[in-house]
Structure formats: structure tokens, C-alpha cells
Structure 1
Amino acid sequence: MKQIFIIGLMIITVNSCFGQKAKVDSLLTEFKKKSFYGNVYPAKQELENYQKIIIPELIKLLKDTSFVKLTNTADLIYPGSTTFYGHGHYIPYDMDWVSVRSGWLLEEITFQDFNYKNSAVNDETLLKLMKENYNDYLEKGTYDLDWKNKTSNQKNREYRKILSKNVEKWWKENKKNWSRISAIKEALNSNNENRLSNVFQYLRYGDSKCDKMTKEVYDIEIKPIIISLKETTEYSEIQQQIKLLLNSSISSKIVDSKNSR
């Protein structure tokens, strides 16, 4: 009887693994499609919930050299945009390249700065664009985006090969003990503005899982780091993020209710 139970348990486990792999493969296929709001973004949201499990698959995707021009972007602003509506969701990653999409999601999950972010256009340059071209905007209802200092595709491919190798090296060194909670703590102690910005956006607005992130863990292990950072960080934007977070609380969607008391 005991043997039958063990065999049954093994079958359930195997089926569960196959089911999870099929789901992940399906999401990765969606993630590589054209429609940003129809396929890419919904897949990104689900893939992020897999946390550590999905990291090796995303690292493999860093080697993908496919160029898939995004469609259905609405008012999304990213380095492949040609039109700016005066407002919108800003993602500073050249997501027409599948490898960069993967880099974007990896940085969102791990709170690392792997250098996939493109800072050619930021809030300051968008504001300048709006001021200087307001009359054109009144006439057309949009602004034309001109992305400066874009490097050739060949140079970008070579550069991304280097980035992917750096990520592989990082994962080889860190995969054994990596968790999303440890990643949050590391980012908060990093003094890297990109990493700090990502982690505060997640703590305030995140809606993907963070295993073992209970209210108690936040209060005891993470909040003290944030309070300490308030006294030491040189970045004004991060100071503002700290103030806003400490005056409210972390996003309820990232709290692990299964492990909460």
C-alpha cells in the first residue's frame, strides 16, 4: 500500500512539473510576440511570479537576436517609439529586441542592473520636447520622437553578447542562495540608482509574488534598511520614494499571505 502511495505521489509530481514547464513555455512564446498590451505585458506579469524558476529561461533568451517590432503599444514610451502623446507608460528598454525584453524582465525580477536599460529619453527630455514643440502638438495631437545617439544594430548585438555573458556569470555565482527577498535587501544596500528605483517601485506598486515576504519580514528585516538609507542616499528621487513608502506601506499584492501569521 505504501509503495502504491509513493508511486502515485511520483506521478503527480512529474505531471505537475510537465504542466508547469508547458505553462512557462507558453508564456515565453507570448512574451516574444508583437502585441505589447495583447501578449508581451500580460506574459511578463505572469512570468514574474515564477521568480527564481524563470531566471534560467530568461538568461537563455538573452541570446535571442530576434527583432520583433512592437504593436498595440497605445501610449507606451520606449526607445522604439516614434510618437509621444504627451503622457504614457515609460519603459526605458529597447523592447523591439527580444533579448532586451528578457533583460528588462530579469532586472524587474532580480533588482539587478545588467545595463539593459536605455536612458536616451527620460522625464527631463520628454518635458523639454513638450515645451519646445507645443504648437505642433496642438496641431497634430502627438510629438515626434527622435532618439539620439543610437548605435548600429551590429554594435548592439555585440554589446548584448557581452551583457548576456555577464548575466550568466552572475547567475552561476548567485543561483544557489538567491531569493527575491535577498535580492530586495541587496538592491537597497547597493547605492545603485537604477536598482534602488526598481526596488522602491516594486515595494510600493508591485503586484507579483515575493515568497516569504510577510509584513513581519518587511518590518523586521527590510524597513530598517530603508530607514538607514534615508540618512545616507544621495539621490533625491530615492529620498522621495523612501518618504512616500514610509508614510504608507508596501503593496499588499506582494505580501505572502500563506506565510503570514
Structure 2
Amino acid sequence: MHKGKGMKFVGDSRISAERKPNVPKDYSEYPGRTEAFWPNFLLKEWLVGAVFLAGFLTLTLAHPSPLEGVADPTNAAYIPLPDWYFLFLYELLKYEFASGDWTILGILVLPGIAFGGLLLAPFLDNGPGRRPHQRPVAVGMMILGLASVMWLTYESAEHVDWEARAEANKPIPASDVEIDTEDPGYAIYENNCMQCHGEDLQGGGAAPALIGTEHSAEEIATIAVEGIGSMPPEQFQGSDEELQQLVDFIVSVNEQAE
């Protein structure tokens, strides 16, 4: 037997001998889908997202969200509000059908239906077209959800004076006045007034600062016993001598501040 005889070579017809360029398939045969996902469609999505992100960052720099003061647990009159992106849910709970006995409806059922509907929108309207008029269910649900959130947020924010809240709740700067803790009036102040007016007489929450007060010594004594405004009477518990020591202490602190 000669070398090379008896050997057979079999070729695979499934492999083309010609190299073809990597060209995306022509999607014109599919209705409503006339471009490749990569890179054409995905590039458009990235561009739109980049424009939105740049606009959002510009808005936050031009109009920073208002920040309030440091939390004060002694301020019983303070009404807390959620951040702006939850204001629409806060406003929803003001309506009769979502508050009171229907609170569960307002905090779980209605938001659950709304967000669940948005998640199901692509499956409820799965037509081949991508134009808005070709996707009436998905587009309609998105417009309804966006309009509802914007309206509820506007209604909630419209009735809140954000600048006044921020100004009223700014932290009070520390006083330069040195408090004489050895003064006999300080011990009386500590037992009767410190809880509301603060350790350094700077006030807190609904209680005003005692430093810089325009009240005279007689008025301070009267207020301590009879109260004023939101301050109830009989806050001071002590003798007349102790009351005088308290008044003298407050007056001496204000004399340092002048």
C-alpha cells in the first residue's frame, strides 16, 4: 500500500469558506423594529438618560432643597414633614378616603395599585409599535401616574412656607455669655426652667430665649408665676426668696449680654 492511499477527507458544508463582515441584521422585516438594539437603540437611551441627569443636577445646584434646623425633641409644636419626594403620599393621607378608618387604604392599597399598575404596564400593552399612539395603555398609565404625583406634591408643598420653617428651626448659636453655675439662682433655674429654656438660656422649641429678653425684673417674676402665651401658670415652684434669686440670676445674665 502506497503512502497516502486509502485516506479520505470530508468537508463540512455548514461552515462557509468566505468570511462575511459583522453587519447587524436588517430589522425592516419586523414591524415597528427597524434598528438593532446594539448600538443604535441603546445609544439613544443613554443619551436621553445623560440629558435628564445633567438637567436634574443643574436644577439641584440652582435651587437647593430647603434644610431645616437640628431636630429639637423639646419642641412639641413642631410638625414633621417627609422629604419632597414623599410629599405626594403625605398629601394623599389628608383625603377622607385615605385617612381615619381608611388609613390602610391610603398607605398600602392605593399606592400598591398605582405602583403595581406601572410595573404591569409593559405586559398589559405589549404591541409591536413604540410610538406613544401605538401604546395607549402603557402611555396612559404613565401620564396618569406622573400627573397624580406632580399634583399631590404641588398641593402639599403649596401650603407649607418652607423658608419660614427653615428660619424658625435654625439652630440657635451658642451664647458668648458665661453662665455662673455657682449663682444660687442657677440652681433654682435648673429645677424650674432649664427643661424648656435650655441650659444656656437660649430657649428651645416653643420656649423663647431668656437672654436678650426685654422684660423687666418685675415682669419676669410675674411670668414665672402666672405664665404667658403658651407657658402655663405655676411653672415656678418655690418661695418668694427663691423667686427673687431666680429673677436676679436672669437679669444678671442679660446684663452681661448687653
TM over 0.5: no
Query: Aligning the two structures, in what range does the TM-score lie when normalised by the shorter sequence?
Result: under 0.3
TM-score (norm. length: structure 1): 0.20
TM-score (norm. length: structure 2): 0.21
